[in-house]
Every structure is written in C-alpha cells, then in structure tokens.
Amino acid sequence: MPTLTDPNLLNDIARIGRIEAVPRILETVAHITRSRFTAIARVTETTWTACATLDTLGFGLVPGGQLVLETTICDEIRQSSTSVVFARASAHPLYSTHPTPRIYGLESYASVPIHLADGSFFGTLCAIDSVPGEFDEAHVQRSMELLADLVGNYLDKEDRLQEAEKALSHAQRDADLRDQFIAVLGHDLRSPLQAISVAAESLEMEAISERQQQMLVHIASGVARMDGLINDVLDFARGRLGGGIPIALQECHSLQADLERVAQEVAIATGRQDIRVQMRIEGSVVCDPSRLSQLLANLLTNAAQHGERTSPVTLMVQATSNRLTLDVHNAGCIPSERLDSIFSPFSREKGGLPRPGLGLGIYIASEIARSHGGLLDVASSESAGTRFTFQMQCAGRA
C-alpha cells in the first residue's frame, strides 16, 4: 500500500484519531450489525480514505488505507447524502447486480453519511461483512445515523478546540512579546538616565551661574520623574509576565515612620498642605515596607492631584492585632463608568488637559496589595467622595 502523503487527508485522520469515543462507536456499530469490519472513512470527490477501522474480517484496511472511489457505494452516498443499508446483497433488487458487492465479496452492508456542523459532507460511518447480516435494516440505519451525528459533533468540537488553542497561542505569544519588550525597554532606559544624573551631579560641584543652577534643578527633577516612570513600567511588566509584583517580606518595626514620611513627601511634591494623617501602628508588621510605601505614595498622590482642592485629603492607617487597614479619602468623584476599570493598567481620566504619569499608579498599588495577600478596594460617589481602602492580614505581629 503506498504511503499517504496528502496533508489534508493526514489532518483528517488525525482529527478522527483525537476523538476518544471513536473506538467505542466502531464497536457499537459492529455489535448492532454483527459486522466484522467497521470504519469511519473520509470521502472526497476523488478519494476514499480510512480514518479509523475495526477489522476482525481480515479486510486489510488500516487508518490511511485507501480504496478506489468509483468502486465504493460511499461515492454514491457522498453525492446523494442518503444512507445505504442492506442485510443480504444477493437477494437485494438493486445491489444484487451492483458491482461493489461483487468486487469486495460482501453480503451485508451499512453506510451512513457524516456531516459537519456547517452541513458539509465529511465521509461515512460504514460496516461490511462477507456473510448475510441478521439485523433490522431500518433499526440499524437509524442507530448508525445517530452515531454518525455524534462523530460530526465531535469533529466540530475538535475543530473549535483547535481554533481556540491556536488563537490562545497567538494571543499569548503577542502578550509575551509585548511585555518582554516593555521590560527590556525599561532596563535599557536606565543606562542613559544614570549617565545624565551623574553628569548633572558633577556639574553641581563646579562654579556655575544661577541660571545654570536652575537648569540643573530642572534636570534633576526630570531625571527623578523619568526614573519613577521607568519603575512604573517595570512593575507593570513584572505584573503582566506572571507572579505579580515581587515583594521581600520582613518584620518591620518602622512602618508607621515610613508611611508618615511618604505622606510628607507627597504633600511637598503636590503642594497639598491639607493632607490630614491619622496613624496608629504598634509593634511590628510582616510586610515589604518599601512596597507598602509605594502603594501609599501612589494612592495619596492620586488623591492629592485629582481631589477637590477645597476639601482636605485624609489618610487613616491602623493596625489591629491581626489586620492592617490603610484608607485614603478625598472629595473627588470617579465617574461610575470608570469604576469597573479603575484597577486596570493605563486607566486614566480622558480630558483636554494633560495629566502626569502613565495611568499605572492605581494598577501597581492593586498589584502590591495582591502580592501581600491583601485587597485594595474603592468606593466613590458625589456625596461621599472617593475612598481607597487597602486591607491585609498582620500575621506575625509582635
């Protein structure tokens, strides 16, 4: 038998081979027809190819085996989409003189069409034997048509699964390439930024004019801002590449002092001297203090920049025996249509005025919360303002 090389037929054989129920279906057909050869065949306009077989007759066909299409009744079934079932060819008014039973020496025959979900013809589910069959033709035909429908449904499911896996693979590849590009870009930006920073520091040590001094202040401010943007990009990439933002847990005894320092720095940076702080943390907290400081800085900066300047920003932090709660509130209101996406990356309010940052601050804060096993939530309304609340367990407090 020549080796089959047609890629389309090889793919069809593989599709049938991936259906776990096919062996049981062929066994069922053999049982109800008492036939010693059953098969699922791919039938095209030019070929008849076995995709799966059950052969105790010694017919000699295995998956990939082919018959001359014109010598089969399946070619007629392909053209008419009509089942053909007979128990005794020699006594049949039509098939007693048909060439196929004589060519293959068969007496009993049952073959029904297999259609795909879109109605297209795939092939046949068939059974043959060299001895007469002892079965009710109408019952066998109906039973085999139901089994053929089952094969068609399995093929459709297999096709949709393959398409979904292919789409998922492409989407995952694109996402990985995008996130890896962002990570590499973030790292590569650090080298020229560090060179600018070192050059600026060297110039500060020389005798320079007042105007040059002001320019160096602007350079230092720009470097610091760029460094913050790079950190945000890298944190975003780490979160998207899997595993979330990395944290280094430790028993921290100075968390209150660290967070109070953040509040002071945000007040200076944003020009908001109305940030009211209430904080009570006694003992130690197992956490990553630098990451919690980053979380607070992002939330507090967001509240200071976007809140109504006629009302103060409030920060309340409290650690009980088993829970740390951090609460940031301002008088602003987040539109309801934005609340569902507020923790998504690059989420920022659209408007005519340019706003600082990349829209990653709240997203990064939520990832830091998740890395600590905590939860960051938000509630906002015109009457109550906007409140971000972070909570985490304080296991290991002393």
| Interval 151-166: pLDDT, tens | 999 999 888 887 888 8
179 and 159 within one domain: no
* 89 lies in the same domain as 112: yes
Q: Is the pLDDT of residue 383 over 50?
A: yes
pTM of the model: 0.50
Mean pLDDT of the chain: 87
Read off the pLDDT of each residue in 338-362 and give the average, rounded to a whole number: 69
**Same domain, yes or no, for 159 and 177?**
no
Taking only the tens place, the pLDDT of each residue in 120-142 is: 999 999 999 999 998 999 999 99
Whether residue 109 is found in the same domain as residue 138: yes
| Whether the Cβ atoms of residue 344 and residue 235 lie closer than 8 Å to each other | no
What is the reported pLDDT for 332? 87
**Domain region containing 38:** 7-163
Three-state DSSP at 140 gives: helix
CB neighbours of residue 104 within 10 Å: 16
Residue 398 maps to a domain: no
CA–CA distance, 335 with 274 (Å, rounded to integer): 24
* Residue 32 covered by a domain: yes
Which pLDDT belongs to residue 395? 62
Lowest mean pLDDT among 110-119, 147-156, 220-229: 220-229
Find the CATH number of the domain harbouring 157: 3.30.450.40
CA distance 153 to 25: 13
pLDDT at 352: 46
Boundary residue ending a domain (131, 163, 195): 163
Cα separation values, 104 from 34, 62, 71, Å: 18, 16, 9
2 part of a folded domain: no
Domain count of the chain?
A: 3
- Shared domain for 219 and 350, answered yes or no, is no
| 235 pLDDT above the threshold of 80 | no
Q: Check whether residue 288 and residue 211 sit in a common domain.
A: no
Specify if 216 maps to a domain. Answer: yes
The answer to the question of residue 106 being in a domain is yes
Confidence of residue 2 (pLDDT cuts 50, 70, 90): low
Domain stops at, among 124, 143, 163: 163
Strands 323-330 and 108-115: unpaired
Domain boundary among 190, 221, 240: 240
| One domain for residues 229 and 348 | no
What percent of the chain is modeled with pLDDT above 90? 59
Tens-digit pLDDT profile for residues 23-38: 999 999 999 999 999 9
Per-residue confidence (pLDDT) for residue 354, from 0 to 100? 47
First-residue to last-residue Cα distance in the chain: 80
The single-letter DSSP state of residue 356 is S
pLDDT at 183: 66
Task: Give the pLDDT score at 355.
Answer: 52
